[in-house]
Amino acid sequence: MKKLLFLAKKTEYIAKVLRSFIVNDEDFLSQRLKEMQGSQPNLTKPSTLNEKICYRMIHQRNPLHTILADKIKVREYVKKRTDLVAIIPIIKVYNNTKQINFDELPETFVLKCNHDSGSSIICTNKKTLNKKLCLKKLELALFKNMYYSTREWHYKNIEKKIICEEYVILEKVRDKDPRPEMLRIHCFNGIACFIEADFTDSNGNEFINVYDRKWKLQPFQMEYPNYHGDIVEPDSFYKALTAAQEISSGIDYCRVDLMLNNDKLYFSEITLTPCRGKLKITPEKWDRRLGEMWELDVY
């Protein structure tokens, strides 16, 4: 049954590759955005944040973007720009699944590919890990090129690898003392302008509060509803803003994702095309207001 499932996923992916030769990026992204917002987007002269993200996906071919999307190469990029964040250490890098020797790995670790999103395998107990299923998942991830599924060009030319990195236990949110697990900092021209703060309650429900640079809750939501209680500003909030600005310097727009663990900040990723241009922003007028903050060069 599992073999059939993986075969079905491979077949589905091949269909997406073939579709890319029939439907170009602009038509593909235009249709997706139209389905979400109910009207035809303007991807020739974009004005909203989502339109500009799609425009980047269609037109920008900056080799730096490939480096930023590569989960291995981006580490050196970040290290050169800031010393305010920790980077989770890599245990080993593999070219293929045959090189993985679980006996050599610690009891806890994370395996993931460097060229995609969603391939992470978190091992908290090596004795109970389904190793065959783990390898199958990684093999399927290596088979795929994320560009053909999402049309995000910056993933297309990454040299595929498997990373094994240390497993870092992040402090859980407590109902009586809620705190964000992740800060997703949207930077325009190297300035941290607004921040998504991710929360998960004791029941596993997910929330996102959007704040400005002064930790003031904003009158719009992104993807998830607001957390239902009061949130205290994290001690490391301004440190996170500074780190994000140092990392994003020279980039017209990106989102810098940082994980919080008490007073320590861990680098997660640099996101160039959040939600692939399908960010659910409510009220909708804020999609345009946020888009106005991005000084995008339109060809």
CA distance 134 to 119: 10
Domain with CATH 3.30.470 in the chain: 42-84+171-299
Amino acid code (one letter) for 217: L
Tens digit of pLDDT for each residue in 161-202?
999 999 998 765 444 557 788 999 999 999 999 999 998 887
Phi/psi of residue 122, nearest 5 degrees: -100, 120
Identify whether the C-beta of residue 199 lies closer than 8 Å to the C-beta of residue 155. no
pTM of the model: 0.93
Residues in the chain: 299
pLDDT of residue 78 exceeding 90: yes
Output the pLDDT for position 229. Answer: 81
**pLDDT-wise least confident of 30-34, 63-67, 177-181, 268-272:** 177-181
Write the CATH number of the domain with boundaries 42-84+171-299: 3.30.470
Q: Token match 């990392």: residue?
A: 247
Give the helix/strand (H/E) hosting 9: helix 2-20
In whole angstroms, how far apart are CA 66 and each of 26, 185, 187, 203? Answer: 20, 20, 18, 37
Phi/psi of residue 142, nearest 5 degrees: -70, -30
Exposed, middle or buried, 136 (CB in 10 Å: 0-12/13-18/19+)? middle
CA distance 70 to 160: 9
Give the helix/strand (H/E) hosting 29: helix 25-37
